[in-house]
Amino acid sequence: MSAMSLDEAQAILADRNLIAVGVRGDEERRRRHGARTTFVRVFEVHTDAIPSALPANASAGEIRVTGMPQSVASAIASVKAARALAGSVPLSAYSLADLLELAGGATASLTDLAARLAAAGLSIVAEAPIDRLQDAVSAVRAARDGGLQVPRLTVHQPTDGDPLRLVALARDIQASAGGVHAFAPLPRVSSVAQPSTGYDDVKQIAVARLLADNIDSIQVDWALYGPKAAQVALTMGADDVDAVSPLEGDLGRRRSPLEEIRGNIHAAGLDAVERDASWRTR
pLDDT for residue 118: 98
The answer on pLDDT for 192 being more than 60 is no
Q: Find, among 201, 219, 212, the residue nearest to 169 by Cα.
A: 212
The answer on pLDDT for 159 being more than 80 is no
pLDDT for residue 78: 98
pLDDT for residue 190: 67
pTM for the whole structure: 0.93
By mean pLDDT, which of 31-35, 47-51, 155-159 is the weakest?
155-159
For residue 199, give the 3-state DSSP assignment. Answer: helix
pLDDT for residue 251: 53
Q: For 207-264, write each residue's pLDDT tens digit.
A: 999 999 999 999 999 999 999 899 999 999 999 999 999 998 655 555 688 999 999 9
CATH superfamily for 6-275 is: Aldolase class I (3.20.20.70)
pLDDT for residue 255: 62
Assign residue 237 a region: left if phi > 0, alpha if psi is -120 to 50, beta otherwise? left
- Give the angle 145-39-143 at the CA atoms, nearest 5°: 10
